[in-house]
Amino acid sequence: MTTIGPYSSTGVGRPSLARTLSETRSQLDDLLTQLATQKKSSTYAGLGAGRTTSLAMRARLEAIESYDSVGKTVSTRIKMMSTALTAISNLGSEYKTVDPNDFQLTSGGVSIQQAQARIDLQEAISYLNTEIDGRYLFSGRSTDVKPVLTADKILADDGDKAGLRTVIDERRLADLGADGRGRIDVSELAGGAFTVSEEASGPFGLKIASLSSTMTGATATGPEGDPAAITLGVSGAPNDGEQIRIGLTLPDGTSTEITLTARVDPSATLRGGDFRVGATPEETAANMRAAFDAALMKTADTALVAASAMQAGEEFFNTPAGAEPARVAGYDGAFVSDAERIAALQNATGLTTTGTAARTVDWYQGEDAGDDPRRTATATVADGVTVGYGARANEDGTRRLVQTLAVFSSMTFSSSDANAQARYSALASRTATTLGSTEATADVKTIAAGLAGANSAIKAASERHTAAKAIAEDAISGVEAVDQEEVSLKILSLQTSLQASYQVTSTLRQLSLVNFL
């Protein structure tokens, strides 16, 4: 007898029908989830063949986000560095018009302009010590090291290590020599003439560069020989106003001139280099020699001392990578008395770089391998695009500013010193020339231009990433996103089918043998 019931041969309630209903319900649930999430699947496996595209595009997006994150960080650092460089450049430009004749001394023995230079030096150092998130931006590869010492530590001695003031004083003694004539010997008068000759002093002191004369009855020969020498004298009667010019080279490479001018009027006021024409050639020659010697002494105590300080600053600050600073040879701190020290320096004939690092303050504390500073910090901001944005505080542009301000602010003067104002004027003029030079401006701009180039590359990469990101997102959307209308229609279709199945199943379940008969 055939049984009609849940598992009868009619198929009502058979496992296959239950499974079909379950699968239909599952499909409906999946479609409802898709409609709610707008995604075809919550797993990559559910994407079928599209999973490869989805994975590739998502990996691309992650790479772009990583590149952009690095780019933003580097761009922030570059902006900080550019701000510092602009401020440093502006500081330097203020000294283009420094007045060499404004000699108003403060209680510290420095001019008002020197006092301001000390403040500006401290400000420049603070810019070079710019730090962001524990990273010093002008320290080369040593990003955890503050690159520049404080102004006080640069100028003053540190134990056995000589600061800038000591190095300047050593060079001054070597350049002036024992008699204060700038390592130039002036002979006694002989036969109406005298000889002016360089000492064998190596790089120190004044060097005779040229000689010219428009003076009647004068002797003016040279320069000749090594060390160079000239001969000056009188064999006749010069006319009033006629001149002899002696060109001299100073330690920093600049030049000056001593001009000897004949004065016939016995009542005329004599100025530097003027001499009276006497009753005899010998008397005139003696007056010429005295005038030259006085002018030489003043030149040595003014222009030479200023040039010596500038050159000492060059040797203190501008040390090549891996080298030791140049110091006056002949004195290494081993002398027992100050007199021995001074004598050794006054008679020095050369510079040394042996063991000087151990006894000289090192103003720059950062890394310096001597290679391209921009490559000391690099970042990859796009596929195949790496930018260099490193910098060192001892690069020419920034180093020159610190160096010049340090030298200018370090020298002191006394109002009771007859040559103080002329010496200050020589120093101030060199400061204005150095910081106002095209070279000084160009060197800072070179650093800024390198950083600007790196920033431009970052911006260009970011723009390309924006376009690439849009393409990747579109590709992902095409693979992962659902068509709402299509899903809605499928849901309606399944709901209709499922409802009909449930109704048929319900009707069949109510059948009995009585109802069937």
pLDDT at residue 51 above 70? no
Of 143, 149, 134, 146, nearest in space to 376 by CA: 143
> Residue 506: what pLDDT?
64
What is the pLDDT of the chain when averaged over all its residues? 88
Q: How confident is the model at residue 320 (pLDDT cuts 50, 70, 90)?
A: very high
> Residue 354: what pLDDT?
94
Q: DSSP 3-state assignment of 187?
A: coil
Q: What is the mean pLDDT of residues 6-12?
A: 46
How far, CA to CA in Å, does 73 sit from each of 45, 70, 76, 86, 143? Answer: 37, 5, 5, 20, 15
Share of the chain above pLDDT 90, in %: 75
Q: What φ, ψ does residue 250 adopt, rounded to 5°?
A: -95, 165
How far, CA to CA in Å, does 323 sit from each of 113, 319, 346, 357? Answer: 34, 6, 25, 8
Q: What is the mean pLDDT of residues 20-29?
A: 59
Q: List pLDDT tens digits, range 182-220.
A: 999 999 999 899 999 999 999 999 999 999 999 999 999
Q: List pLDDT tens digits, range 458-512.
A: 999 999 999 988 888 777 665 655 545 554 555 556 656 656 666 666 665 665 5
> Residue 56: what pLDDT?
78
- N-terminal to C-terminal alpha carbon distance within the chain: 14
Q: List pLDDT tens digits, range 415-462.
A: 999 999 999 999 999 999 999 988 888 999 999 999 999 999 999 999
Of 396, 413, 412, nearest in space to 320 by CA: 396
Q: What is the mean pLDDT of residues 334-347?
A: 87
Q: Tell me how far apart the alpha carbons of residues 332 and 354 are, in angstroms, rounded to a whole number.
A: 10
> Residue 512: what pLDDT?
57
Q: DSSP 3-state assignment of 288?
A: helix
pLDDT at residue 142 above 50? yes
pLDDT at residue 172 above 50? yes
**Of 39-48, 258-267, 427-436, where does mean pLDDT reach its minimum?**
39-48
Q: What is the mean pLDDT of residues 166-174?
A: 98
> Residue 13: what pLDDT?
47
How far, CA to CA in Å, does 311 sit from each of 130, 171, 239, 317, 426? Answer: 28, 8, 40, 10, 13
Residue that is written with structure tokens 């060199």 in the block = 430
Provide the token pair at 324: 């030791």
Q: Report the Cα 224 to chain-centroid distance in Å.
A: 44
Cβ atoms of residues 197 and 296 within 8 Å: no
Cβ-based neighbours of 265, under 8 Å, separated by 6 or more: 240
> Residue 48: what pLDDT?
62
Q: Tell me how far apart the alpha carbons of residues 152 and 284 are, in angstroms, rounded to a whole number.
A: 52
Provide the token pair at 266: 């016995």
**Of 9-18, 90-99, 250-259, where does mean pLDDT reach its minimum?**
9-18
Q: Tell me how far apart the alpha carbons of residues 232 and 25 are, in angstroms, rounded to a whole number.
A: 120
Q: Alpha-carbon torsion 103, 104, 107, 111, what sign?
A: negative
**Of 272-276, 278-282, 293-297, 479-483, where does mean pLDDT reach its minimum?**
479-483
> Residue 9: what pLDDT?
45
Share of the chain above pLDDT 70, in %: 81
Of 389, 391, 379, 206, nearest in space to 307 by CA: 206
Of 63, 70, 135, nearest in space to 454 by CA: 70
> Residue 72: what pLDDT?
97
Q: Give the type of residue at 253.
A: G
Q: Which stretch of DSSP H or E encloses residue 181?
A: none
> Residue 216: what pLDDT?
97
Q: List pLDDT tens digits, range 299-314.
A: 999 999 999 999 999 9
pLDDT at residue 146 above 70? yes
Which CATH entry fits the domain spanning 39-139+365-414+424-481: 2.170.150.20, 1.20.1330.10, 2.60.120.650, 3.40.50.300?
1.20.1330.10
Quote the pTM value. 0.84
Q: Which stretch of DSSP H or E encloses residue 19?
A: helix 15-37
Q: What is the mean pLDDT of residues 310-329?
A: 97
Q: Tell me how far apart the alpha carbons of residues 174 and 326 are, in angstroms, rounded to a whole number.
A: 13
List, as own/partner pairs, every contact residues 31-38 make where C-beta atoms lie below 8 angstroms and the sequence separation is at least 24, other chains included. 31/487, 31/490, 31/491, 31/494, 32/491, 34/482, 34/487, 35/482, 35/484, 35/487, 35/488, 35/491, 38/481, 38/482, 38/484
Q: Tell me how far apart the alpha carbons of residues 328 and 350 are, in angstroms, rounded to a whole number.
A: 6
pLDDT at residue 336 above 80? no
Residue that is written with structure tokens 């450049």 in the block = 89
Q: How confident is the model at residue 513 (pLDDT cuts 50, 70, 90)?
A: low
Residue that is written with structure tokens 């001139």 in the block = 257
Q: DSSP 3-state assignment of 488?
A: helix
Q: What is the mean pLDDT of residues 127-131?
A: 98
Q: List pLDDT tens digits, range 353-394.
A: 999 999 999 999 999 999 999 999 999 999 999 999 999 999
Of 207, 149, 145, nearest in space to 175 by CA: 207
Indicate the pairing of strand 274-276 with strand 255-263: parallel
pLDDT at residue 18 above 50? yes
